[in-house]
A and B are shown apart, each in its own frame.
Chain A
Amino acid sequence: MPEGGRPGVVGDHIMSGERSILMSVRNLSVHFPSGKGETVKAVTDLTLDIRRGEVFGLVGESGSGKTTLGRAMLRLVDLTTGSVEYDGDDLSHLTGKQMRPYRSRMQVIFQDPYGSLNPRMRVDAILGEAVTLLGGGDSLSERVSELLDLVGLPAASQRRFPHEFSGGQRQRICIARALAVRPEFIVADEPVAALDVSIQAQIINLLQDLKDELDLTMLFIAHDLAVVRHISDRIGVMYLGRMQEIGPADAVVADPHHPYTKALLSAVPVLDPGARVGRQILKGDMPSSINPPSGCVFRTRCPIADDECAATIPELRGDSSRSTACLKVT
């Protein structure tokens, strides 16, 4: 495994065309106290690498731990066990102060562009604050205009307040704010979930353009498999805090290996009124992450689970391109 390689540094060409690992998560668990003396196991024993320039799509239903994983990568939550390495540096035990140099290299875009902008600040102040807090050096007003241009907003937006914009435009402001410090790595947590269909496509295209233009690496979190398939190079499927399957986006969608991925794909509504038959519908709800099932966490809803699945925790097995955590998949 090439460690800490920057583009152009020896080690980049170990596997032809593959770039160095930027974000490396090893055996990560994030557990929270629930307040009743119980423990919420949001993420458990999760390992994942994201390479430079890659868009890694993370799917899973609410409660699967995908947001917590994103936050752990940015060290916005404390890690219970395991490690998070960014560009070769171990972030796992850094203090808030020690994290500061990394804050400008890693940024986040949230789902709700209404809740994440200060309603009393004008756009130039929102963006200017981000530039001065972490970036510095630039001529402020020039940089603000540059950022607005980058996300496709008119320069006149500068003197306006967030409420004067539509949802899609507000998400553009949030994206501009994230880009203000010239980050390399972006966690986009459901960035289009709150937007109308016709606006979603605009924002997805914008993120793709920015990714190419600025050579960004991205963790793209969404519950919408079609959106994730469209934008991602690889997809990871989470269920109840554990990674169930990882693989190239098109391959996972075209040929899912894990029974949960199969069920998830089967549940996605398709735009073809003729395709109504033969859908597989999962029974029940996801169990609580306070008391996850023994063995395989998916076994209680799995159509092919047996006694073995209750006894053994399946590990993520496979090669670097495709892996599945299921005892029944060989």
Chain B
Amino acid sequence: MIAQPQVLEVEQLVTVFDTPDGPVRAVDGFDISVGPRETVALVGESGSGKSVTCLSIMGLLPQSGRIHGGAIRFMGENLVQASESRRRELRGSSIAMIFQEPMTSLNPVFRVGMQISETIRAHLGGSAENASKRAVELLDLVGIPEAGRRARNYPHELSGGMRQRVMIAIALACEPKLLIADEPTTALDVTVQAQILELLKDLQSDLGMAVLFVTHDLGVVAGIADRVHVMYAGQGVESGKVLDVYRRPLMPYTEGLLLSIPQLVATGSERRLPTIDGQSPSAGLRAEGCAFLERCRYARDLCREGSVDLEMREDRSVRCRRVDDLVLSGTTS
């Protein structure tokens, strides 16, 4: 395979938060890359470190958090060493982000059209008139009917789906090379979610963006992503092409996630859902051995010692000592 220049390359990222109990590694040596026009999904449960990874990439960590090690390269430039003003320049123009809750990400006291044109003028300059014209074009692009009239609405006058479309319009205002979408459809109803996912797919192929899509929903991943990374307790535990991972997961945690989701179509006479027992460990409380050990039904003594490394298997990676003697089940044949 010819090495493609990556839009985003995260290498051995370590992000630390200061807590009353001392520093906690929310992200602990995580690797992920996104190529041009590629959609890569980052999957994990709450506390797995996926949102902190996004905030690290964006340079939006809260005061108590800091990048402790590793590299975040955007088009080859290491952002970890970049100045705050360089970060600000990139943020919102070359790298854009959309969040889960569009209501809290929009300013309630400004008309939505103005919130889009403000972004355009902040990054690209130009006249207010041109910016507002462009804002209406963008609202039209993201599928808002009567865009000219809607531009004059306040956020509260729009539905959840419309607000998320406005957020996407703001994100796209400066034609970013990388879009980070953090659970962008989680707060939406399923029919609206389908609309937004379709919109993101269309926009990506039209504009040629790289997309990092963060979600807890493996069904959404199946519908949108080319590759997937699974995160657990701040570390990557498995990655690969979506089709390969769903067909045959290599890590017991991935298998557990895939099997514990109720399926729409009944698969035989299943009555009980297979579960992953217990709950994710709190960040920073990791003991020796595999982080998933306590919840893993395949755990053996060999899983208890040292730290388990991420191993490469062709275009996949997996963090499991028993990868060679386990054959796990996926959701498709």
Residues of A whose CB lies within 8 Å of any CB of B are 61-62, 166-169, 196-202, 204-205, 208, 223-227, 229-231, 250, 253-254, 263-276, 279, 281-286
Instruction: Write out the residue numbers on chain B whose beta carbons fall within 8 Å of the beta carbon of A271.
Output: 218-219, 222, 246, 258, 261, 263, 331-332
Pull 5 A–B residue pairs with CB atoms less than 8 Å apart, ordered by A. Answer: A201-B260, A201-B275, A253-B265, A254-B265, A270-B219
Question: In the docked arrangement, what's the CA distance between A264 and B189, Å?
Answer: 10
- Complex interface: stretch among B52-60, B102-110, B132-140, B190-198: B190-198
Q: Which listed residue, A62, A196, A199, A268, touches B219 by the CB 8 Å rule?
A: A268
Closest to B48 in A: A196
Inter-chain contact B162/A285, CB cutoff 8 Å: yes
Inter-chain contact A205/B192, CB cutoff 8 Å: no
Inter-chain contact A196/B272, CB cutoff 8 Å: no
Q: A198-B45, A263-B191 are in contact. Are A225 and B272 (CB under 8 A)?
A: no
Interface size in chain B (residues, C-beta < 8 A): 47
Closest to A269 in B: B219
**A interface secondary structure, majority:** helix
Instruction: Write out the residue numbers on chain A whose beta carbons fall within 8 Å of the beta carbon of B145.
Output: 284
Q: A61-B191, A270-B222 are in contact. Are A201 and B279 (CB under 8 A)?
A: no
Inter-chain contact B276/A276, CB cutoff 8 Å: no
* Max chain B C-beta neighbours (<10 A), residue from A167, A226, A227, A265: A226
Closest to B263 in A: A226
Question: In the docked arrangement, what's the CA distance between A269 and B220, Å?
Answer: 5
Question: Would you give the shortest CB distance from A192 to chain B, in whole angstroms?
Answer: 10
- CB within 8 Å of A: which B177-224 residues: 189-195, 197-198, 216-220, 222-223
Q: A273-B222, A285-B161 are in contact. Are A204 and B279 (CB under 8 A)?
A: no
Q: A168-B279, A201-B260, A226-B262 are in contact. Are A269 and B222 (CB under 8 A)?
A: yes
Closest to B225 in A: A273
Closest to A263 in B: B191
Q: A269-B217, A269-B220 are in contact. Are A229 and B262 (CB under 8 A)?
A: yes
Closest to B197 in A: A269
Question: In the docked arrangement, what's the CA distance between A201 and B257, Å?
Answer: 10
Q: Which listed residue, B195, B261, B266, B332, touches A282 by the CB 8 Å rule?
A: B195
Inter-chain contact B274/A201, CB cutoff 8 Å: yes
